[in-house]
A and B are shown apart, each in its own frame.
Chain A
Amino acid sequence: MMRFLLLFSRQGKLRLQKWFTPMTEREKKKIIRDMTSMVLSRQPRSCNFLHWKDLKIIYKRYASLYFCLAIENQENELLALEVIHRYVELLDKYFGNVCELDIIFNFEKAYFILDEFLMGGEIQETSKQMINRSIEASDMLQEDDSSEWYEVELFG
C-alpha cells in the first residue's frame, strides 16, 4: 500500500500532499521536511529509490516538480514509478500540457483527479480512458447542474 504522495518544487514548496494513513499534523510536517531535504539533495544520475525508516521512497522529477511517493516494503518499486507517471499523464490530459502553475491554481482539481486514480493507498483504476471519462463526466455535472441549492435535513 502507498503511504503518502508529495509534490514539491525545486525550492521545496509543497504543491500537493496526500496522506493514506492517519497522522498528526506534527508528524506530517516532519515527514515533509525529511522528504524535501532527502530528495532535493540527490545527485542527478542516481536511481529513483531510497530507503527511509521502514518505507521505500520513490521519487521522480517532472520539469520543476518532484513527485515523491512512499510505499511499504513489499511493494514493487518499478510499478510505483509508473503510478507516478500515470498520474502525470492524467494531469496532462486534463490540463493540456500541464505545468506547475496549473497545479497551484487548480489544486482542488489535482486532488479530484488523484482520487479517481488512487484510493486508500491502492490503485483504483488503471485504464486511462476510464478515468478520463469519469473526470469529464463530473465536469459535465458541474456545468449542467442548475438545481437550486436547498437545505436538506441532516438529521434522520
Chain B
Amino acid sequence: MPAVSKGDGMRGLAVFISDIRNCKSKEAEIKRINKELANIRSKFKGDKALDGYSKKKYVCKLLFIFLLGHDIDFGHMEAVNLLSSNKYTEKQIGYLFISVLVNSNSELIRLINNAIKNDLSSRNPTFMCLALHCIANVGSREMAEAFASEIPRILVAGDTMDSVKQSAALCLLRLYKTSPDLVLMGEWTSRVVHLLNDQHMGVVTAAISLITCLSQKNPDEFKTCVSLAVSRLSRIVSSASTDLQDYTYYFVPAPWLSCKLLRLLQCYPPPEDGAVKGRLVECLETILNKAQEPPKSKKVQHSNAKNAILFEAISLIIHYDSEPNLLVRACNQLGQFLQHRETNLRYLALESMCTLASSEFSHEAVKTHIETVINALKTERDVSVRQRAADLLYAMCDRSNAKQIVAEMLSYLETADYSIREEMVLKVAILAEKYAVDYSWYVDTILNLIRIAGDYVSEEVWYRVIQIVINRDDVQGYAAKTVFEALQAPACHENMVKVGGYILGEFGNLIAGDPRSSPLVQFNLLHSKFHLCSVPTRALLLSAYIKFINLFPETKATIQEVLRCDSQIRNSDVELQQRAVEYLKLSSIASTDVLATVLEEMPPFPERESSILAKLKKKKGPGAVSVTELEDNKREGGELNGGGERGPDTSAMAASNASTPSPSADLLGIRSAVPVGAAPASAGSLLVDVFSEAGPAAVSAAVNDDGFLSSAPPSEDPAAPLPEADELLNKFVCKNNGVLFENQLLQIGIKSEYRQNLGRMYLFYGNKTSVQFASFTTTVSCPGELQSHILSESQSVCAQVDPPGGLHNHTQVDRSQVH
C-alpha cells in the first residue's frame, strides 16, 4: 500500500521516516535524528517566517522523534502557533503535538487556552471538536478552570450539533474525573439525563458514560435516569437487527450502548416502581434467552458482542441479588460456558462465577459445577485460566466440600506458577482453618503447605498453626508426632524446622514415651538442622532446647554441652549469644521448681481475627474481593480457635497486624497473669495510687503494671513487715518506682527519678488502718560511708496521715552524689 495516501503528503516527513528505518544501528539512528533536530532548530530560529505547511511538517517530525522515545525540548511555541491557523490540518497537528507533549509552562498554557477558547466559540463543528478533544486529552487543572463552566452549556444547548454534543459529553466527563470540584451541578444536570432519549445513538452512547460517572458521585440527583435507561434498553433488546442500521454490530443491536445501560443500572438498587422493574426483568430474561438461540453469524465478533451483553446482564443480576430465578439461570448459563471451546469464555465464566458463589441464592447452584472446575484446574493450558479456577474453588468452598477442595488446591500448588504461590498458600491456610472440623486435618494441611511451598509460607501462616495447636489440647499430641515425622525428611524447609522446634519444645513430652521419639532423639533431630538455619530459627531452637532441659532432665547434660560451646556463647549474633548464655545460666542455677515455672507451658492465645485474612485482602485480584464478601455473608460462627475451654478472653480482638508473641518474650512470664511466687494473683490494690496524677483512687482494684501484691494474710505481729518485703526491696535494682515497704499498718511507696548525678525520691505513706496517724514524722538518714558520698536534703512530712480515703502524705527527698 502506498506510504503516502491521502491529503497532504508531507513528503519530507515520509523521507525522514524512511531514513530512520534504514539506519543499520542505534548510533546511526541517533545521528540522523540529531541532524534533523539541528535542521529544525535552525529553521525555527531562522529569519524568514515559515509558512504553515513547513511548520506543520517540522512539528510533525518532532512529534515522530518524540514518539520514537527521544526527548524533545523545543517546538512547543511553533505548535501553539499552528493552533491559530485556519487550515484544518495545521490545527490538527498543532493540537496533536500539544496533547502528546504536555507542557507546564504557564505562558504556553495561557496561549493554548486562548486558542481553544477561540475554537470553541467559532461555531465551526470540526474546530469545536478539535478543541474539545484537546481538553479531553490533556485535562489539566488550568483547562478545567478555564472551561468547566463553558462545556455543560455547549452540551445541553439546543443548537449544538450531534457530533459536538458527543465530544462535549466525554470532555466534560474527563474534566469531572480530574477536577470534580470545578464542575458544579446546575440546571444542566436534568437536561443531561434527557440525552438518554436522544435520537442520535452516538449522543446517547457518549452521554451515558457521563451520566454513569455522575450517578456514582451524586446518585440522588440522577436517579431519574433509571427508568429512562430501562426503557431504552428494552427497546434495543427487542429490536430487530435491521432497526438500528449502522449501530448494529455483526447482527447484534447496539452492543456498546446496551452494555453501558446495564452498567448504569448497576449504580442503583433494583427499581422500586413495579412497572419499571417488570420491564427490566423481562429484558434480562430476553438476553438470557437469546444466549440459547443459534448464532446468526459464525464470526467471533458476533459472539463476542452477544456474550459481552450477556456477561454484563449477569453482572447486573448478581448486583441486584434479589431474583432467585434469574440467578439460577445465570449460573446455569455460566456453567455451559465453563466447557465452551473458546478460552476467553471459559475464563470469563470462571471469573463471573466467583461473584455468584458468594450470593446465598446461587451458592448451591455454583457448587454443582465443582467437578468441572477441578478439571479446569488440572487441564487448562493457560495459566490465567487455571488461576481463575483456583479462585473459584476458593469462593465456592464450604463445609461440605472443604476437604476435597483443599486437597485439590494442594496438589495444584505443587506445580503452580511461582507468581501465584503466595496467594494460594494464604487461601489454603484460610480454608483449612475455617472449615476444619477435625483439627488434625488442619495440622496436616499446614504442614503439607510448608513441605510443598515452604518459601511462600509467610509468617502469619505458621504463627497461626502454632496458636491453634497451643489452644487446642486435643491436637497437641498429634501435632508433635506429625512434626517429628516431617522433620525426619532429608531436606526439610526452614519453616518446618521453626514449627517443629516450637511444637516439640512445648509438647515433645507427649511423644517421649515412644523410644523412637525419645527426648534425646528429638533433640538430635532438631540439632541436626541447627547449622542449616538462619538466625531467627536458631534463636527459636535455643528456646526449644531450654524447654527440653525442663521437660527432660536426662538431656540436661547434653544440651548444656551444646550451649556451652564457643559457637553459641561467643556467637557473633547478639541475640543468639544472649540466649545461649542466659539459658545456660538458667539451667545451672535455677531449682527445678523455678525452671518449671519459668518454662511452663504456653498459655492459650487470646482469640483474634486471623491476620492471614487481612494479608489476603491486601493482595489485589478478584479472588480477594469475593473472599471479603464470603466472610461477611457466611460467618460460620467465627470459630477461629474452636472456642477452647481455656480461652481467657473470648472477645475477638480485631487486630490488623496481629502482634505475634515471640516465644522468648513470654517465656519468662513478665507480662503474663501468673507472677513469680506461685501465689494466685489477687486483684491487688495499692492504697496509695502512686502513679496517678489526680491523687489517689484509694480503693482501686486494678492491678497496675508492676503487679503489686497486697492484702497479705494477717500476721501475728502487726508491725512485722510482710514476708515479701525483702523481695520488694530487690525490685529496685531495676526499677525506680514501687512499694518499698509494707506491713499491717503502713505502706510506703517510692517514686524516684535520676539525672546524671542528681536524684529525687518521693516517698508516699499509706495508712492501712482505720484510724488516723497523729504526730507522724519521718527521718531520712544515710548510713555509714554513704554519707560522704551522698548529699541529701529532705522536706518534712505533715504530721497527720489519714486512713484510706483521706489525703495521702508524702515527703520529698533530694539526693545528689558527691564524688
Contacts and interface: CB of A to CB of B under 8 A. Distances in A.
Contact of A108 (B93, B137, B384): B93
B12 interface: no
B263 interface: yes
A10 interface: no
Given A111-B96, A119-B171, A123-B205, A85 B301 contact: yes
Nearest to B266: A74
Interface string B338-376: 000001101110000000000000000000000000000
Given A78-B308, A143-B7, A154-B84, A122 B206 contact: yes
B251 to A, nearest CB: 13
Given A46-B343, A102-B1, A125-B166, A154 B7 contact: no
B694 interface: no
B167 A119 contact: yes
B418 to A, nearest CB: 14
Interface residues of B, number: 85
B246 A130 contact: yes
Interface of B: 1, 3-8, 14, 17, 21, 51-52, 60, 63-64, 67, 69, 71, 80-81, 84-90, 92-93, 96, 102, 111, 114-115, 118, 126, 133, 136-140, 163, 166-167, 170-171, 173-174, 177-178, 201-202, 205-206, 209, 246-247, 249, 254-257, 259, 263, 301, 304-305, 307-308, 311-312, 343-344, 346-348, 381-385, 620-622
A76 B312 contact: yes
A122 B308 contact: no
Contacts of B1: 95-99, 101-102
B224 to A, nearest CB: 22
Nearest to B620: A54
Contact of B255 (A74, A82, A119, A149): A82
Nearest to A152: B84
Contacts of A50: 384
Indicate the size class of the contact surface on chain A: 35 or more
Contacts of B209: 1, 122-123
Interface string A76-109: 1111011001100000001111110110111111
Given A76-B312, A130-B246, A124 B384 contact: no
Contacts of A108: 60, 63, 92-93, 96
A119 B254 contact: no
Contact of B202 (A122, A130, A139, A154): A130
Interface in A51-76: 51, 53-54, 73-74, 76
Contacts of B63: 108
Given A95-B5, A108-B96, A120-B136, A81 B167 contact: no
A82 B170 contact: no
A154 B246 contact: no
A34 interface: no
Contacts of B173: 120, 122
A74 B259 CA distance: 12
9 contacts: A14-B67, A46-B343, A46-B384, A46-B385, A47-B344, A127-B202, A139-B6, A145-B89, A155-B114
A120 B202 contact: no
B343 A45 contact: yes
B620 A53 contact: yes
Contacts of B163: 125, 130, 134
Given A47-B343, A47-B382, A126-B202, 16 more contacts: A14-B69, A22-B102, A22-B139, A45-B382, A46-B385, A48-B344, A49-B348, A81-B344, A85-B301, A105-B3, A107-B67, A108-B63, A119-B136, A123-B206, A126-B205, A149-B51
Contacts of A122: 170, 173, 206, 209
Contacts of B311: 76, 78
A144 B466 CA distance: 81
Contacts of A102: 1, 3, 5
Contacts of A152: 84-86, 118
A121 to B, nearest CB: 8
Contacts, number: 203
Interface string A3-45: 0000000000010010000100100010000000000000101
A39 to B, nearest CB: 12
Contacts of B60: 108
Contacts of B90: 149
Nearest to B134: A115
A59 to B, nearest CB: 12
Contacts of B205: 123-126
B392 to A, nearest CB: 15
A105 B17 contact: yes
A141 B88 contact: yes
B202 A82 contact: no
Given A47-B344, A50-B384, A108-B63, A115 B133 contact: yes
A138 B202 contact: no
Contacts of B304: 78-79, 81-82
A105 B87 contact: no
B161 to A, nearest CB: 11
A16 B367 CA distance: 45
Contacts of B89: 141-142, 145
B446 to A, nearest CB: 28
B246 A82 contact: no
A74 B315 CA distance: 10
Contact of B305 (A17, A29, A78): A78
A1 B381 CA distance: 30
Given A106-B5, A124-B166, A78 B307 contact: yes
